[in-house]
Amino acid sequence: MLHVNLIEPVSKLLARHARERPEQVAFSDASRSINYAELAQRTASIAASFSKAGIREGDKVGIYLPNSVDWIEACFAGLRAGAVLVPISYDAVEGEISYRLSDAGCRALITTAARKDLIAKIAREEGSSLAVIYAGKDAPQAGPAMAALAEDSDARPLDPESIDHASFIIYTSGTTGRAKGVLLSLRGMLWIAASCWVPICGLSDKDVVLSPLPLFHSYGLNLSVLGVLAVGASEHILEKFSPQQVLELMQTGRYSVFPGVPTMFHYLLQRAQESGVDQLGNIRLCISAGAIMPATLNKAFEDRFGKPLLDGYGITETSTMVTMNWLNGARPLGSCGLPVPGLAVRIVDPSSREDVPFGGEGELIVRGPNLMMGYHNKPAETASALRKGWYHTGDLAKSDASGYLTITGRIKELIIRGGQNIAPAEIEEVVARHPQITDCAVVGIQHATLGEVPCLFVVAKNGEIDVASLLEHCRAHLSSYKIPEATHLVPEIPRTGSGKIMRFKLVEALNRM
């Protein structure tokens, strides 16, 4: 059932919760918490102050903050001022920050005093007149402080009624190089809450979410910011993911929902095994998205803790989710679930564009109200990705006769060895089961006679790996043509904030060897 009452302007959602649950904690972090009455009042004042400072409807405003209640206030106030928000990772390097600010055309930026000199340097080099608003207790007296803007109780926010224009420019994680800005509407983002988080995961005002998700990423923004607001839940925001801290917080019994990405669940399980923990307090549900969840990890996690870990598949261009496993009914191991209700999906042959039969592999294409509006200032890329109302994901998938989807890889990542197709994810799934491996990734490398062959990168538990044992393990579970031709031990696998492997960085590392 689609919960259309959740698809409203942020101001109306805040007003509803301020009226129905004014004293309930909306969001908290390690240093402060805010209830729904305070959140409604403070974001109204900040939004009105933004307008008085010259931020107009449609202006681009960057959010360059760590995960925090400040991040939440900046987001909701920006939306109430009619701004288009540009979230930026607080761990981003200078070039990444500069690119996003200039590519989006940001008029203003909300950040911390700790980043004051860096932002001033970027503004000088770009020759821009960027208005900077500071958040946090250490906000400098010389610049506008968000805390002071929140005190202007007589100001009236713009509170635009439309939710169909672009409200966010979310930069893709950049698994293949320089990121593209994805234009997303508030309607499309809240549609995921209405069609997925509530009917499938049962998210409600009774839930207390423990979230380590990076809020600048579409998954964190959708679930841990807008989804929590939509239903009136409570949430504790972690600035960074720490498996030990998460396990300790879970033991308090205060939390009911934990969202993460596969690598988080891997390290959470590993830490629990090391410390002998096999309970997650009152957690009723764990949710995984952002990258492919290995079937073995999903099973091992559920076997140890006795809690459902629902895996889903989503991408920034679809406002996050495309498929999701359900709490009830069948759940084929390794599948990323069924299409979200109201969303149309097809699996087509990349060459002929004809639909493939059940069990056949092809490109997944998607149609629904959650699709992006396009890529910011990139009409050619937009036209290539959005064709006749369908978004072409570039992901390879299969569907069983019951409609459960399994993501098998990326078209561009497919390794063609002597005419035979190899999906890196298939090899990674096998390698991840080896007892010495904590993480791994596969890329294709050039071969004089075969065209391409798989090359394996591994992270070992003790910094050492018996390559012969690992290859023997691969031969027991993979066809001979899928066995890696080379194996490299590395300290870590480069991943995006959502856990996706940045294979281009591994290829760059190979070229330097």
- Same structural domain, 36 and 18: yes
The beta-strand segments (E) located in 329-465 are 338-339, 344-348, 362-367, 374-375, 386-387, 390-399, 405-410, 415-417, 420-422, 437-447, 451-460
438 and 402 part of one domain:
no
Whether 354 and 481 share a structural domain: no
Domain holding 433: CATH number? 3.30.300.30
Tell me the pLDDT of the chain (513 aa) as tens digits: 789 999 999 999 999 999 999 999 999 999 999 999 999 999 999 999 998 888 999 999 999 999 999 999 999 999 999 999 999 999 988 988 999 999 999 999 999 999 999 999 999 888 778 999 999 888 776 678 998 889 876 778 999 999 999 999 999 865 455 689 999 999 999 999 999 999 999 999 999 999 999 999 999 999 999 999 999 999 999 999 999 999 999 999 999 999 999 889 989 999 999 999 999 999 999 999 988 888 889 999 999 999 999 999 999 999 999 999 998 888 888 899 999 999 999 999 988 999 999 999 999 999 999 999 999 999 999 999 999 999 999 999 999 999 999 998 888 788 878 777 788 888 998 999 999 999 999 999 988 778 789 999 999 988 889 999 999 999 999 988 899 999 999 999 998 877 888 888 898 888 887
Residues 404 and 435 in one domain: no
Calpha distance 41→45 (Å, rounded): 6
The pair of structure tokens assigned to 425 is 């994810």
Task: Tell whether 307 and 338 lie within a shared domain.
Answer: yes
Instruction: Tell me which of 410, 438, 472 is where a domain ends.
Output: 410
Q: Which of 358, 388, 410 is the last residue of a domain?
A: 410
pLDDT at 141: 66
Q: 455 with 307, same domain?
A: no
CATH number at residue 46: 3.40.50.980
Q: Is residue 82 part of a domain?
A: yes
Greatest CA span in the chain, whole angstroms? 74
Cβ neighbors of 276 (< 8 A, separation 6 or more) are none
Read off φ and ψ for residue 173, nearest 5 degrees.
Answer: -65, -20
Instruction: Please give the pLDDT value at position 233.
Output: 98
Regarding whether 163 and 51 lie in a shared domain, the answer is yes
Asked if residue 489 is part of any domain, the answer here is: yes
Helix (H, G, I), strand (E, B) or coil at 222: helix
Beta pairing, strands 405-410 & 390-399: antiparallel
**How many domains is the chain built from?**
3
Q: In terms of residue numbers, what domain contains 156?
A: 4-189
Q: What is the pLDDT of residue 330?
A: 81
Alpha-carbon distances of 137 from 75, 103, 140, 486, rounded to whole Å: 18, 30, 9, 51
Contact 367, 382 (CB under 8 A): no
Same domain assignment for residues 404 and 433: no
Q: Is residue 259 part of a domain?
A: yes
Residues paired with 146 in a beta bridge = none
User: What are the angstrom distances between the C-alpha of 391 and each of 171, 255, 276, 505?
Assistant: 17, 36, 45, 26
Q: Which of 236, 233, 232, 203 is nearest to 17 (CA)?
A: 232
Question: Token digits for 377?
Answer: 């200032």
- Core vs surface per residue 359-387: b (16+ CB within 10 A) or e: eebbbbbbbbbbbbbbbbebeeebeebbe
Query: Quick check: is 235 in a domain?
Result: no
- Tell me how far apart the alpha carbons of residues 273 and 267 are, in angstroms, rounded to a whole number: 10
**Per-residue tokens: 183:** 């234009």
Residue 400 counted as domain residue = yes
Question: CB of 358 within 8 A of CB of 385?
Answer: no
In a domain, 363, yes or no: yes
Domain co-membership, 255 together with 179: no
Q: How many residues does the chain have?
A: 513
Q: The pTM is what? A: 0.87
Final residue in a domain of this structure, among 410, 443, 465: 410
In the numeric block, the tokens 């288009």 are attached to 84
CB contact at 8 A, 219 and 225: no
Tell which residue, 474, 393, 491, has the closest CA to residue 426: 474
Answer whether 285's CB lies under 8 Å from 307's CB: yes
Instruction: From 265, 407, 385, 429, select the one nearest 335 (Cα to Cα).
Output: 407
Cα→Cα distances 336→172, 290, 377, 397, 421, Å: 21, 11, 32, 10, 22
Task: Tell whether 396 and 449 lie within a shared domain.
Answer: no
**Residue in the block written with tokens 């380590």:** 212
pLDDT of residue 142: 60
Residue 236 in any domain: the answer is: no
Same domain for 382 and 436, yes or no, is no
317 domain residue, yes or no: yes
The pLDDT of residue 175: 47
Q: Kindly state whether residues 29 and 177 are assigned to the same domain.
A: yes
Judged by DSSP in three states, 399 sits in strand
pLDDT of residue 174: 53
CA distances from 443 to 413, 488, 509 (A): 7, 11, 11
